[in-house]
């Protein structure tokens, strides 16, 4: 399962186009997410944050100010490249790594975050890794469940202390180009469009016109 998920992630996210659109058009998490999640802990500087499945660094950026050291890992080199290009914090390190084999050696993490990435993991292995890596004598397990598809994941988590936040929201005004870019940043978009292109046995101009008709982002704007 780990190997299959790994290659599926690479299939989706090793596209330069997807990584660039993901960075540009995906909404960033509100800083309130970090302050609400950390609660009273935000009043002191914590030692070590491990961000798993960091992508372009969206979660890393809002949690990093509260830690002395941050390690953010992802399986995708292209996502890490985008994350490193926008990183302005000297205490944040991005590197390739897997949720199922956390690269922390004997270091204990104060907090482990996984922003909208848990559904990609082999979760039983990740939970075991998390329990071995985390200094459980210091902090409780904290997660944010941000959508209904994560309710099942919340239920399965093998922790006695779990919290769900329903009071965090954000507003953003989008242009049509923003909406199109967001749709094009979805993991299966490139795969879908390439498959459709290969199915069309038309001239270049006819294929181009037909692809515009089949493009989900163009269809949304037409609505």
pLDDT per residue as tens digits for the range 49-66: 999 999 889 899 999 999
Average pLDDT over residues 75-86: 88
The domains found in the chain, sorted by start residue, are 28-156 (3.40.50.150), 176-222 (no CATH)
pLDDT digits (tens, 9 = 90+) for 98-156: 888 887 665 678 888 888 788 778 888 888 877 666 554 334 444 544 456 677 788 88
Give residue 3's pLDDT. 41
% of the chain exceeding 90 in pLDDT: 16
Q: Measured between alpha carbons, how far is 85 from 198 in angstroms, rounded to an integer? A: 33
What tokens does 213 get? 């008709």
Q: Measured between alpha carbons, how far is 172 from 25 in angstroms, rounded to an integer? A: 11
Q: Measured between alpha carbons, how far is 16 from 25 in angstroms, rounded to an integer? A: 14
Q: Measured between alpha carbons, how far is 176 from 189 in angstroms, rounded to an integer? A: 17
Q: Measured between alpha carbons, how far is 88 from 84 in angstroms, rounded to an integer? A: 9
Whether 91 shows a pLDDT value over 80: the answer reads yes
Rounded to a whole number of angstroms, the CA Rg of the chain reads 19
According to DSSP, the residues that pair with 74 across neighbouring strands are 96
Q: Measured between alpha carbons, how far is 79 from 96 in angstroms, rounded to an integer? A: 10
197: three-class secondary structure by DSSP: helix
Quote the pTM value: 0.73
What tokens does 207 get? 């294929």
Whether 67 shows a pLDDT value over 90: the answer reads yes
Give residue 16's pLDDT. 61
Question: Greater confidence, 8 or 25?
Answer: 25
Other CB atoms within a 10 A radius of the CB of residue 97 amount to 20
Mean pLDDT is lowest, of 27-41, 87-101, 182-196, for 182-196
Give residue 168's pLDDT. 73
132: three-class secondary structure by DSSP: helix
% of the chain exceeding 70 in pLDDT: 79
Give residue 95's pLDDT. 94
pLDDT, mean over the chain: 77
Strand residue runs (E) in the chain:
46-52, 67-74, 92-96, 111-113
């Amino acid at each position: 399962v780990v190997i299959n998920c790994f290659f599926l992630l690479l299939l989706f996210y090793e596209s330069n186009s997807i990584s660039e659109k993901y960075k540009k058009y995906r909404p960033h998490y509100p800083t309130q997410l970090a302050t609400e999640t950390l609660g009273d802990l935000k009043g002191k500087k914590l030692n070590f944050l491990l961000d798993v499945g960091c992508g372009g660094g969206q979660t890393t950026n809002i949690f990093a100010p509260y830690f002395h050291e941050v390690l953010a890992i992802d399986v995708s080199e292209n996502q890490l490249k985008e994350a490193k290009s926008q990183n302005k914090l000297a205490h944040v390190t991005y590197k390739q790594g897997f949720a199922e084999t956390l690269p922390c050696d004997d270091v204990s993490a104060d907090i482990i975050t996984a922003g909208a990435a848990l559904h990609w993991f082999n979760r039983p292995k990740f939970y075991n890794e998390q329990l071995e890596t985390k200094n459980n004598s210091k902090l409780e397990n904290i997660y944010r469940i941000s959508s209904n598809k994560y309710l099942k994941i919340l239920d399965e988590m093998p922790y006695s202390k779990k919290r769900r936040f329903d009071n965090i929201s954000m507003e953003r005004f989008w242009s049509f180009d923003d909406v199109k870019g967001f749709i094009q940043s979805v993991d299966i978009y490139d795969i879908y469009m390439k498959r459709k292109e290969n199915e069309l046995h038309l001239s270049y101009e006819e294929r181009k016109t037909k692809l515009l008709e089949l493009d989900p982002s163009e269809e949304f704007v037409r609505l």
